[in-house]
Amino acid sequence: MTVLEIPANGTALRAPGRKDAWSILGADVSEANTAREALEMADLRGWDVRLMGNVTASEVTIHEDGVSATEVKMPDTRATVRTNPRTGATEYLSAVGRKYTPVQIEAYENVLDLARRESGAVFHKAGAYDGGKKFFISMSLPGTVRIGGVDEHNMHLTLFGSHDGSSSNSLHIGPTRLDCGNMQRIIIAGAKHKVSVPHTASALDKLVTLEDELAVLFDWEDAYVREAERMLNTPLTIGQFEKLVTSRDLWPVPTSPTPRTRKNYEERMNILRNLFENAATQESIRGTAWAGWNAIGEYLDHYAKVNSHSVRAARSLSDTGAVTKKKTAAHRHLLALAA
């Protein structure tokens, strides 16, 4: 593969100027030597996330005599709040259940520093998004992963967390593809890609044992390379690709569509075909199942319609949402061809 440029600031090899999800949502913390420094650079320290009382819901009713408000107590629900590190103001984050226990981001500093020392990783990007409800701290692992010797990836070890009860905090391993900036989210059977810390009273005890669980994550890298090279060694025609993308768990052909639905379907198909057949980002892997999977990933990460780039980036980082489900479904279909 001819390297067109050296990636910097989120720029991909064959998609100049394109930012990956890390760069859209996070600050550059590559100069940090410790987790504390990385968190300070990204304004992730000093939040003092805490719980406040019972949540009360209000219902406003308009009637002949005017307007009245009724308050309903929600005894099984409390609110998480934080101190904004820039303004010092108390900010609402989310309503959570009675068992929810806040875990400060600083509690992970020792684990992050240990992972950095043991693996030789360097801090990469860190940031909060969705109004402070979610955050991440990413480290780049040393070396470059090359699928088939040509398709380059950077591997990251990342702490993902939330303060809204939507998910446990967890350490993930996963790659970013340099040619297109794709977040290579994929769930591989039998390969553990994350270790989690729940928001419960046992969270701090779990942190003590988390250090011993990190080693298993590095086995996921071998599984990822193995699965990717199986797809790279499997030919894929445009007809097979079109059948794949119109499967039930991706984008099935609409039945009795409205003109708008039909237009959106055709636009999406045209983009997907072009990404598979013509895009420079598939140049080194053209005509393979691996190109098909990456065309789908590139569409989801960089072309699918959303309200903002930050929403798309957040969606690409998640391993529980629709984007990862579609990438995993495509992987399953393509491996069936490779069998």
Half-sphere exposure of 248 (CA within 13 A, CB side): 0
Four-residue CA torsion sign, 19, 21, 27, 32:
negative
How many Å is the Cα radius of gyration of the chain? 22
For the chain, give every domain's residue range.
21-45+103-217, 50-97, 230-338
Which tokens sit at 226? 């193995």
Which tokens sit at 133? 């409800």
Four-residue CA torsion sign, 271, 16, 237, 296:
negative
Q: What is the pLDDT along the chain (339 residues), one digit of tens a residue?
A: 333 333 444 556 788 888 899 999 999 999 999 999 999 999 999 999 999 876 677 776 776 666 777 777 767 778 899 999 999 999 999 988 888 889 899 999 988 998 898 889 999 999 999 999 999 999 999 999 999 999 999 999 999 999 998 888 888 899 999 998 888 888 788 888 888 887 777 776 777 677 677 777 888 889 999 999 999 999 999 999 999 999 999 999 999 889 999 999 999 999 999 999 999 999 999 999 999 999 999 999 999 988 888 999 998 988 778 898 999 999 999 988 876
CA distance 242 to 237: 9
What torsion do the CA atoms of 240, 245, 246, 252 make, to the nearest 10 degrees? 170
User: In angstroms, how far is CA 267 from the centroid of its own chain?
Assistant: 25
Confirm if 127 and 144 have CB atoms less than 8 A apart. no
Q: Which residues of 236-266 are buried (b: 16+ CB within 10 A; e: fewer)?
A: beeeebeebbeeeebbeeeeeeeeeeeeebe
Query: Bridge partners of 95?
Result: 79
Q: Work out the number of other CB atoms within 10 angstroms of the CB of residue 77.
A: 18
